[in-house]
Copies of this chain bind each other. A is one copy, B any other.
Amino acid sequence: MTRDSESHYTVLAGGTGAAKFLRGLIPIFPPERIHVIANVGDDLEMWGLHISPDIDAILYALSDQLDWERGWGMRDETFRCLAAMDRLGAPAWFKLGDTDLATHLQRTSMMKAGLTLSEAVDRLCAAMNIRSRVMPATDDHLRTRLETLDGVLDFQEFFVRELWQPEVRSVAYVGAAEAQAPAAVLQSIHDARVVIVAPSNPITSIGPILAVPGIRDALRCTRAEVVAVSPIIGKSAVSGPAAKLMEACGYDVSAQGVARCYHDFLDLIVIDGTDAAMAASIRYDTIAVETTDILIKDAGGAKRLAEFVVAKAHENSSAAG
């Protein structure tokens, strides 16, 4: 039990969905016991700045600065610099807020000074009094690129600029094959009490993390219980283009399709109560299934879901052990 009371919970995270789930995990554990491995496939260069939308959603969530309703950016944000950039003819489709901008300026300055993204994130965490660990899946260049009928788009171009309207033919994780996972990332998976795959887009949020050599293998080999929360209810994504992208990649748009994305390392998946009928077919893949209301509406709902996920992970772990 000593080990249990000290060991950590490692969350594989995209942006909005993961941030909302973390909102429920934060009140359960001391911050030091929460590790987050964050997607960098959505990162982009804008206005000469290195922007990491998913990492920032996590940072703002962990420091309770996130606009929880919107799921991205800071609360009480203003967009005066953005309006001025628009007047100057700069691209203004990516909504960088005035306060949010500070994070990008700081990160970019630190990286220009030679720090890795991981080191920059560590310093941002310290400045924001975040005591949980936030780790980019890689410090190398990795970008999710979508082949669409309108041409090849970076993820944010597809998601924000084109409002995920273009038809998607395929998804590539550019740079993934050459990317390295930081040792701390692999260690965090290896030593975790539980690894939680957040209810994020399996293709463009979790997919790029899994594409970094070594991470998928670490998930297969860890003694931690690996549990995912489905980002799909029925045949629809809770938010964003997860359904569209799963379909484009040949996965069934369902909790079962999500389980299939993670089939080689997943011990347990938490799906919505309304999807209970597909539990049997998921179990056929030797993945345990628990059902509950997985739609996060507020802080209370997030905590209830996180408690459920952790409890079921522990139960399943004991049962397996």
Give me the interface of A with B, judged by CB distance under 8 Å.
Answer: 47-49, 78, 80-81, 83-85, 87-90, 98-103, 105-106, 108-109, 112, 124, 127-128
Contacts and interface: CB of A to CB of B under 8 A. Distances in A.
Contacts of A89: 106, 127
Given A98-B98, A101-B101, A109 B90 contact: yes
B127 A106 contact: no
22 contacts: A47-B106, A48-B105, A48-B109, A48-B112, A78-B80, A80-B80, A80-B98, A81-B101, A84-B101, A84-B102, A85-B105, A85-B106, A87-B102, A87-B127, A87-B128, A88-B102, A88-B124, A88-B128, A90-B102, A90-B109, A98-B101, A101-B101
How many copies of this chain does one complex carry? 2
Given A48-B112, A101-B101, A112-B48, A106 B80 contact: no
Contact of A81 (B90, B105, B112, B124): B105
Contacts of A48: 48, 105, 108-109, 112
A90 B78 contact: no
Given A81-B101, A84-B102, A88-B102, 11 more contacts: A47-B106, A48-B48, A48-B108, A78-B78, A81-B102, A84-B103, A88-B106, A89-B106, A90-B102, A90-B106, A98-B98
A124 B84 CA distance: 12
